[in-house]
Structure 1
Amino acid sequence: MSDFKRGLRASTPVLIGLVPAALVLGAQATTKGIAPLAVPLMTGLNFAGGSEFAAIELWTSPPHLVLIAGVTLLINSRHLVMSAALAPWLRHLPRRQALPALFLMVDESWAMALADAKARGERMSARAFSMSYFLGLSAALYASWVAFSALGALIGPVLGDIQRWGLDMAFPAVFLALLRGMWKGLGAAMPWLVSLAVAAGTCLIVPGAWYVPAGALAGILTAWIMVRL
């Protein structure tokens, strides 16, 4: 089996959680007044579910574009750390291959490709990272996310509030499963825990979606302090 097909196959369990989340995203977008055709444009250009959910939560008419752009930047800033973690595994690849491929990097493909590279690294001293495996993962996730978010935008008004079915829990469930596989102890998880506590507290005290930038900033600040100590 080729590495690309292996990546496609490995993506199947993740799609079980990703597809319902994409449907919810598309349905929520239309309730905020976003045109159905604009939904796949958004998910295709900004392939990052967390920031897309936050953008829709903050969406008004007219939209506060500076606030939405700022929150999106904060949430997606974790990709800087994620890509830095992949850098040692990509050094053998020319930049013309590595940089465009990183456009498709999301939490799921990053975690699974990194785990695969580490497993292969136990048997291979060099070139453990399989770009074909990464692209197989990413192709399935990207196509499904864009397609099913568009479908959610189209059928959302017909189905009504699909959150009552609990489908909105699929996205955090996938994320928690990935975190479990990446657990390195309480110390390494401290920025995540601080971010969670600050976001939850802000959500209870401050109206609106300010818990998103509050949690993101708290996590980034905690990670910076830990590095400096």
Structure 2
Amino acid sequence: MTAPRSPAAPGHAGAWVRCCAGATASLPMLFGVIPFGLVLGAQAAQAGLTPFEVPLMTGLNFAGGSEFAALGLWAAPPPVLLIMAVTFLVNSRMLVMGAAMTPFLHHLPKRKVLPSLFLMTDASWALSMADTRRRAELGIVPAFSLAYYLGSSLVFYVAWIACTTLGALLGPLLGHPEAYGLDMAFPAVFLVMLRGMWRGWRRAWPWLVSLAVAGLTYRFVPGAWYVAAGALAGILAALAAAPRHAAPGGARPSRPPKQ
């Protein structure tokens, strides 16, 4: 049995290399983020937000899905309580994603972990967890690289604010972005990501429950309640499907060594 090995090039130099690796891994996904941000900025401008308010919203509430949901509910005056409830439900998946990362964060102080989690996105989470699995298979300790995660997350954060601001400025010139098909850019990227996260039909049924409930709610209930209904149904389905005595992080319990 080989002993776990520590990562090479420790210190600031090694952290910078890992940060650049995370940023580089995120660059291809910007082809999906850029049009998605332009669409959100344009829709926010059409809803009445100024080019100053758009980056303020996207920078403080760094979660594109909930921002689209909030704009879908925007009115004069906006239903604040409904927007808060829908935003919480859409973003509540971050609770599950953060919990999945927890077993790999014990070696880090909370003063570093908590601010870093603000930058978490679906894409940076998926990339970081994939990197963590690779490092764990190689026996590198610690498996989770905070520098890699931050490099990935910061790329998305800067690009998101820049693209939504640009969309708000160019929105009146472009007209409705749906006419160009840009509204399908990021959903297409996420379909590719979901394919990489596929673990069989038994683990996919919370997705199907969420899809079915959201579709039925969209068909029969006016307004944007389908977003909240689909998110809540998916969370409840995932909780119902979760094993009662799973090991931390979803890993299988290790077998005792043979005598």
Q: TM-score range by the shorter chain?
A: over 0.9
**Equivalences for 1:4-19 in 2 at 5 Å?**
4-19=19-34
Which residue matches 2:62?
A: 47
Bigger shift: residues 33-42 or 51-60 = 33-42
Report the CA distance shift for 1:228/1:111 in structure 2 as closer, same or farther (over 3 A): closer
- Measured after TM superposition, the shift of residue 33 of structure 1 is 1.3
Which residue matches 2:91?
A: 76
Kindly name which structure, 1 or 2, has the bigger radius of gyration based on alpha carbons.
Answer: 2
Which residue matches 1:156?
A: 171
Which of 240, 245, 253 is matched with 1:225 structurally?
A: 240
- Measured after TM superposition, the shift of residue 110 of structure 1 is 0.3
Which of 191, 194, 204 is matched with 1:176 structurally?
A: 191
For residues 78 and 15 of structure 1, the distance between their equivalents in structure 2, rounded to whole angstroms, comes to: 22
- Runs in 1 of length 4+ with deviation above 3 angstroms? none
Considering fraction of residues, name the structure with more helix. 1
For residues 221 and 90 of structure 2, the distance between their equivalents in structure 1, rounded to whole angstroms, comes to: 19
For residues 189 and 103 of structure 2, the distance between their equivalents in structure 1, rounded to whole angstroms, comes to: 26
For residues 74 and 118 of structure 1, the distance between their equivalents in structure 2, rounded to whole angstroms, comes to: 28
Residue identity over aligned pairs, in percent, reads 58
For residues 148 and 140 of structure 2, the distance between their equivalents in structure 1, rounded to whole angstroms, comes to: 18
Which of 191, 214, 217 is matched with 2:206 structurally?
A: 191
For residues 139 and 54 of structure 2, the distance between their equivalents in structure 1, rounded to whole angstroms, comes to: 42
Structure 2 alignment gaps of length 5 or more: 1-15, 245-259
Query: Is the partner of 2:242 in helix, strand or coil?
Result: helix
Q: Deviations over 1:140-159 (max 9, x none)?
A: 10000011001100110111
TM-score by structure 1 length?
A: 0.96
Query: Is the partner of 1:15 in helix, strand or coil?
Result: helix
Query: Is the partner of 1:2 in helix, strand or coil?
Result: helix
Which of 112, 123, 144 is matched with 2:138 structurally?
A: 123
Which residue matches 1:211?
A: 226
For residues 148 and 241 of structure 2, the distance between their equivalents in structure 1, rounded to whole angstroms, comes to: 33
Structure 1 alignment gaps of length 5 or more: none
TM-score by structure 2 length?
A: 0.86
Is the counterpart of residue 202 in structure 1 residue 214 in structure 2? no
- Measured after TM superposition, the shift of residue 225 of structure 1 is 2.1
- Measured after TM superposition, the shift of residue 7 of structure 1 is 1.1
Size of the alignment, in residue pairs?
229
Q: Deviations over 1:90-149 (max 9, x none)?
A: 111111111111000010000110000001111125201111111110111000001100
Which of 80, 88, 110 is matched with 2:125 structurally?
A: 110
Residue type of the partner of 1:192? W
RMSD: 1.3
For residues 116 and 141 of structure 1, the distance between their equivalents in structure 2, rounded to whole angstroms, comes to: 17
Query: Is the partner of 2:76 in helix, strand or coil?
Result: coil
Query: Is the partner of 1:11 in helix, strand or coil?
Result: helix
